[in-house]
Amino acid sequence: MIRVFCYFLLAPVVVGQSFNDYDLPPHDYYNAPLTDPMSNLLKRLHAGELALEEPSGKPLVERLLVELDIPVSSQILVFTKTSLQRRAVHPGNPRAIYFNEEVYLGWMPNGRIEITSIDPNLGGVFYFQRPLDEPERLLFAREERCLGCHAGSATNFLPGLLGMSVFPDADGRNLRSVPSFDRVSHDAPFEDRWGGWFLTGHTGRVKHMANVLAKGSRRDPVLQPDGRENKASLQEFFDLDLHLRPDSDVLALLIHDHQIGMHYCFLEALYRVRQGLYDAKIDDDSRHALTRLRPNDVADIGACVDRLMRYLLFADEVSLGDESWQDGGDYRAAFLKDRRPDQKGRALKDLRLAGRLFEHRCSYMIYSQSFAALPRPLREEVYFRLHTILTTDVEAFDHLSGSEKQAIHEILTETLPEARDYWANL
């Protein structure tokens, strides 16, 4: 059996070399056919198969959530001026974000709808509702301005998702970003997480930055500490009737953080492997193709897959502490609706919410379209490494007990046919 790369980076994981040619072959971001959910919805709209005649605001948001299969219970609220609509957002008028595993929809009262839809072959595709006073224009258009941030240094110049934690002042302006919070993920320390976001639910004794404003200067901002943890209601901050729901559920925030980080790992691996195979003129669809890349690409892609594996298996997840976290309940049901149980009833989406987010620490995003669209050599490399990690002792993944590794392997064998078939031939 050939080993493609050194299996794991034992040093701390660092951000890889930036990548800034997503608009060129073989990626062709601006001209490649789009297959993401929002693009598919707009194709139906332009073909006359669908009509969106609801007025702007809540009615249109509710209709889009239905059409895009996004649960309204996924609502999370951010009150910082970190979107294209800076003037409309402030602590008294937060921006709501609704999401599933492929689409993220943002909206605030008296504002326009912003949508990031994940194309499995390209990454984030960004749409912006037309100006509210220009009804003659197309309802939604692809918005290249979004890439100024969403394909900038924070995403290593790839078209990806962002989530910021900042010190917000009373108007929602960013006094300073949290230095350790470069990109949202389950790895971010909670004391640095959710600055500029509202949060409802019980987080025990874990400290975070949600529900609080900062004062002072950009050089030395200080959080106002009073009563920000374990909020049951946000009524002290804004008129709850302005939004579809009165909450910003802690479970939705936790899932959002994990998903965005996982999307980025898939996106980085997709672009780097596709570029490497293209540059080397390789069309072999087995994992052994990765050994024939140019030497620098072998090293870069090896490190990239190391990062992906550590994230996929929650190797660097920040602990939730010993006390159980309590969510509002509505989003939990929506999240678990499509869980894939094995014969013993276990699934990767099973929640723990004490100590760690999930019972079985392998991301459910391995079932996603984003993972399925990765080049086959890369998917086979992931399966090969998964099998090695889950069936042998690997020091870099000793956070997984023997019983948890066995459970994950059994769940994947029963619920992910491609992995099962690959493992059967090892």
Q: What tokens does 52 get?
A: 């969106």
Handedness of CA 314, 256, 153, 158 (dihedral sign): positive
More confident residue, 13 or 76: 76
Give the Cα separation of 234 and 230 in Å (integer).
11
**Pick from 165, 189, 192: nearest CA to 176:** 165
Of 128-137, 333-342, 414-423, give the lowest mean pLDDT range: 128-137
Question: In the chain, count of helices (H) and strands (E)?
Answer: 10, 13
Phi, psi of 123 (to 5 degrees): 105, -150
Determine contact, residues 279/25, Cβ cutoff 8 Å: no
Across the chain, mean pLDDT equals: 89
The stretch 398-420 carries a mean pLDDT of 98
Long-range pairs for 83-89: beta carbons < 8 A, 24 or more residues apart: 83/114, 84/114, 84/128, 84/143, 84/145, 84/146, 85/111, 85/112, 85/114, 89/172
Helix (H, G, I), strand (E, B) or coil at 198: strand
The pLDDT value given to residue 56: 92
- C-alpha distances in Å from residue 28, one per residue of 215, 318, 319: 45, 36, 40
Say if residue 181's pLDDT is above 50.
yes
Task: Give one DSSP letter per residue of 342-386, joined into a string.
Answer: -TTS--TT-EEEESEEESS-S-GGGGSHHHHTS-HHHHHHHHHHH
Q: H/E element holding 260? A: helix 250-279
Partnered with residue 142 across adjacent β-strands are 127
Of 17-26, 330-339, 405-414, give the lowest mean pLDDT range: 17-26
* DSSP H helical ranges for 36-194: 37-46, 58-67, 147-150
The pLDDT value given to residue 182: 58
Give the Cα separation of 327 and 248 in Å (integer).
10
The stretch 97-113 carries a mean pLDDT of 96
pLDDT tens digits, one per residue of 341-383: 999 999 999 999 999 999 999 999 999 999 999 999 999 999 9
Peptide bond into 26 cis (omega under 30): yes
Q: How confident is the model at residue 131 (pLDDT cuts 50, 70, 90)?
A: confident
Say if residue 16's pLDDT is above 80.
no
Give the Cα separation of 342 and 412 in Å (integer).
8
Determine contact, residues 174/81, Cβ cutoff 8 Å: yes
pLDDT tens digits, one per residue of 225-256: 666 677 888 998 999 999 999 999 999 999 99
Q: What tokens does 373 get?
A: 């669209």
